[in-house]
Amino acid sequence: MSNALLSTDAGAWDPKRHRAGIVHIGIGAFHRAHQAVYTDAALAAKGGDWRIIGVSLRSTDIADALNDQDGLYHVIVRYPDGAKVQQIRSLSHVLAASRGIEPVLAALAAPATRIVTITVTEKAYGIDRASGGIVADHPAIAHDLHHPGEPSGLIGILVEGLRRRRDAGLHPFTVLSCDNLPENGVLLRAGVIDFARRLDATLADWIARNGAFPSSMVDRITPAATAKTAADVLTLTGHEDLAAVETEPFSQWVIEDHFPLGRPAWEIGGALLVGDVKPYEHMKLRMLNGSHSLIAYLGVLAGYRYVRDVMADPQFAALVRQHLASAAATLEPLPGIDFAVYGDDLVERFKNPEIAHETRQIAMDGTEKLPQRILIPVCEALRDGKPIGSFALAVAAWMAAMKMLSDQEGLAGISDPRAHDIFDAASTASDAGSLYDHLSRLPGLFPGELLASTIWQQAVTRRLHLILSSGARAVVLAETGVADQGIS
């Protein structure tokens, strides 16, 4: 692979000649390796005032690093046999919300802002998945309902930005969620309108009538950047870059094409603009993210630090293939896509030896991730008489990992918005049966249909028992039929 700096052709576009048209909330590694790259390609090819103003909700470091570099940074693309570097110039500057929310609200209310994109991770939404209503005791929601003019969380910030636009006689910006949530646009719309209604019914009606909240499916495996990321950029380009990110070659973005105020030509960078994102989103959440969670919990239990380590173990890799097939079996056909080929490609992506993706990173926030990745698809599989074994194993592995981390590291070892509940449940459970009971009864987490199913309960507890008594490898061997007896 070439190690040359792949700067977007410097002659083709001058970033300074393009104004910002997008505000992006959540300027983490994923945004910098994904949407900002598509926007860069669109700007380079088609121009337009579509540069991005980033908003960092908590950290100030990344805002400082990017602002010191005039918004420029590098993306290292790690191929199995080497790396390429790309310089990204679509980012204008970054606002650190923790230093003051006013500049953020002013950017949202600016007439030039036509799109607000979002990557804040699942737990920052504070929206109840089933009802679409806001979760009133979510910390940011609770704060923002009391201080709507000085919001601190995603929904409060969006609603205050929209209120200012309504009062100024502007159109609402289009809100584009890029988080791994099912029907993310539909969910966000419902949450924003519910929040607004609690403050001002006419505002809620105005948003309901005029607002646009397209859904999108995003995909690019992007491990957290480390000191090695910056060191490699320095070696490869000669540039010091404290905001560099590293990612895999694969990238996908499927977007519902509903942008009343226009959008960048994201298709130039390979985005797929469609009428209905849902089938793509199901495929990705269930096959990629579901397998990721399975890999993460088994990896944590087996002492494998990275996804690639789990995949280098043939039995674990066989199990992942088994889960990919079971997850694919829950999907509606998607014209033009062969799920078996998609699954084969996923296995290769997970195996990429150059991607150091920590199982502990993916294992975070299980209560936010398991529903769409595992629990809802397995309800469908149960109903249709399809295989449920690997889904049950994913849940057993989550439960066992929560127990192991509680016992070994205490509350601090559980990284989840419901860490207290998980820790209480896991640390007081003494065997597979009680661990299953305690964790599956966390309010609102498991669908009633699963709680009522003895088939499901037995499928999980049998696997959980085997993990607790004989370890993760034993359950993997049993599952893949390598041990004397498979698990049914």
Tell me how far, at minimum, the Cβ of 267 lies from ligand CS2, in Å. 19
Residue 339 neighbours by CB under 8 Å, 6+ apart? 283, 287, 328, 331
User: Residues 419-458 vs ligand CS2: string with x where CB under 6 A?
Assistant: ----------------------------------------
Tell me how far, at minimum, the Cβ of 280 lies from ligand CS2, in Å. 12
Q: Is residue 349 near ligand CS2 by the rule CB under 6 A?
A: no
Q: Give 56 or 289: the residue with its C-beta nearer to ligand CS2.
A: 289
Residue 119 neighbours by CB under 8 Å, 6+ apart? 24, 25, 26, 28, 30, 31, 34, 35, 178, 179, 218
Residues 242-261 touching ligand CS2, rule: CB under 6 A, are none
Residues 364-383 touching ligand CS2, rule: CB under 6 A, are 369
Residues 177-236 touching ligand CS2, rule: CB under 6 A, are 180, 219-221
Residue 247 falls in which region: left (phi positive, over 0), alpha (psi -120 to 50) or beta: beta
Tell me how far, at minimum, the Cβ of 179 lies from ligand CS2, in Å. 9
Other Cβ atoms within 10 Å of 274 Cβ, number: 17
Tell me how far, at minimum, the Cβ of 221 lies from ligand CS2, in Å. 5
Do 368 and 184 contact (CB within 8 A), yes or no? no
Tell me how far, at minimum, the Cβ of 365 lies from ligand CS2, in Å. 7
Q: Which of 35, 119, 289, 359 binds ligand CS2 (CB under 6 A)?
A: 289
Q: Which of 33, 43, 91, 362 binds ligand CS2 (CB under 6 A)?
A: 362
Place of tokens 């300027």: 27
Give the Cα separation of 83 and 193 in Å (integer): 44
Tell me how far, at minimum, the Cβ of 154 lies from ligand CS2, in Å. 18
Q: Give 163 or 220: the residue with its C-beta nearer to ligand CS2.
A: 220
Q: Give 160 or 246: the residue with its C-beta nearer to ligand CS2.
A: 246
Helix axes 472-479, 389-409, angle to 10 degrees: 180
Residues 96-135 touching ligand CS2, rule: CB under 6 A, are none
Q: Give 113 or 390: the residue with its C-beta nearer to ligand CS2.
A: 390
Tell me how far, at minimum, the Cβ of 318 lies from ligand CS2, in Å. 20
- In terms of Cα–Cα distance, which of 226, 211, 203 is closest to 76? 226
Give the Cα separation of 383 and 329 in Å (integer): 12
Give the Cα separation of 379 and 374 in Å (integer): 9
Tell me how far, at minimum, the Cβ of 2 lies from ligand CS2, in Å. 25
Give residue number: closest CB to ligand CS2. 292
For residue 96, give the 3-state DSSP assignment: strand
Tell me how far, at minimum, the Cβ of 362 lies from ligand CS2, in Å. 4
Kindly state the tokens that stand for 226: 């480390």
DSSP single-letter state for residue 223: P
Tell me how far, at minimum, the Cβ of 208 lies from ligand CS2, in Å. 30
Tell me how far, at minimum, the Cβ of 402 lies from ligand CS2, in Å. 16
User: Residues 133-152 vs ligand CS2: string with x where CB under 6 A?
Assistant: --------------------
Q: Give 86 or 180: the residue with its C-beta nearer to ligand CS2.
A: 180
Q: Give 369 or 463: the residue with its C-beta nearer to ligand CS2.
A: 369
Q: Is residue 292 near ligand CS2 by the rule CB under 6 A?
A: yes
Of the ranges 75-83, 337-345, 361-369, 432-440, which one interacts with ligand CS2 (CB under 6 A)?
361-369
Residue 290 neighbours by CB under 8 Å, 6+ apart? 323, 327, 373, 374, 377, 391, 394
Q: Is residue 78 near ligand CS2 by the rule CB under 6 A?
A: no
Q: Give 220 or 418: the residue with its C-beta nearer to ligand CS2.
A: 220
- In terms of Cα–Cα distance, which of 4, 373, 8, 79 is closest to 250? 79
Strand partners, 79: 82
Q: Give 221 or 320: the residue with its C-beta nearer to ligand CS2.
A: 221
H or E element in which residue 217 lies? strand 216-219
Q: How many residues bind ligand CS2 (CB under 6 A)?
A: 9
Q: Give 109 or 283: the residue with its C-beta nearer to ligand CS2.
A: 283
What contacts 24+ positions apart, CB below 8 Å, involve 329-335?
A: 329/381, 329/386, 329/387, 330/282, 330/286, 330/377, 330/378, 330/380, 330/381, 330/384, 330/386, 331/279, 331/282, 331/283, 331/286, 331/287, 332/279, 332/282, 334/279, 334/280, 334/283
Exposure b/e, 205-240, CB count within 10 A at least 16 = b = ebbeeebbbbbbbbbbbbbebeeebbebbeebbebe
Q: Give 282 or 465: the residue with its C-beta nearer to ligand CS2.
A: 282
Binding site for ligand CS2 (CB under 6 A): 180, 219-221, 289, 292, 361-362, 369
